[in-house]
Amino acid sequence: MMMENFSIYKASDKNYIQYKQQVKNIFWQIPAILLTTLVCTGVIAQEYPGCFMVDELGNKKDLTISVCGLFEEELPEEVSTSSPTAGIYQIPIKGRLGGTPVVDVTFNGNKTYEMLLDTGATRTFITQEMADSLKIIPSGQGIVTVADGRDIELKRGIVGSISAGDLEFKQFIIGILPPLAKSPLLGQDFFGNYDMTVKEKLVELRIRSSS
């Protein structure tokens, strides 16, 4: 007995025509699916991180989350999109004075001075000469205790920004040393909230963990 192909649709049936069109669409989608699968599998070894598809114009379409299900933390470390020094600020050391690191500090984005990075100073102090150059208008004064135990009265003011290495603060309060003082100090009010490591040629500041 000869077996005949069985179908629930007749050739003239409208549903049968729609069924054939659906099969045709699925057939033409197969190459694109295969291409996406191949790209997603091999992309980790490529220079471009993530999962992507290249269109006819050579443009990359990111499919990392939508198709491949990859997330940033699943990418290899060597092609990670996050900075390898995230949470770490580095300040180059230019020299040392009596063992204390000397670093470049920039004020208001355009004036840079050498200052002592003094772990024993609770506040940041600049010289009167620096204050004049930065056109700082004193906004108050206070009493500070110096290394020999004396209490001295100092003026204070505000700078628009202060930065050393990668770390910057806006609207920063600084103290102004007496006219005869010549050694400006970068103090704990700048770096005191970070864990510090002093190396041979740089200072590393790490964001302090809450634990």
Domain ranges of the chain: 14-79, 88-207
End-to-end C-alpha distance for the chain, whole angstroms = 81
Sheet arrangement for strand 194-198: 88-92, 202-207, 194-198
| Coil vs helix vs strand at 208 | coil
Query: pTM of the full predicted structure?
Result: 0.58
pLDDT grade, residue 85 (50/70/90)?
low
Task: State the architecture of 88-207 in CATH terms.
Answer: Beta Barrel (2.40)
If you average pLDDT over each of 29-38, 93-102, 137-146, 151-160, which comes out highest?
93-102
The angle at the Cα of 94, spanning 189 to 88, to the nearest 5 degrees, equals 50
**pLDDT of res. 144:** 74
**pLDDT of res. 68:** 46
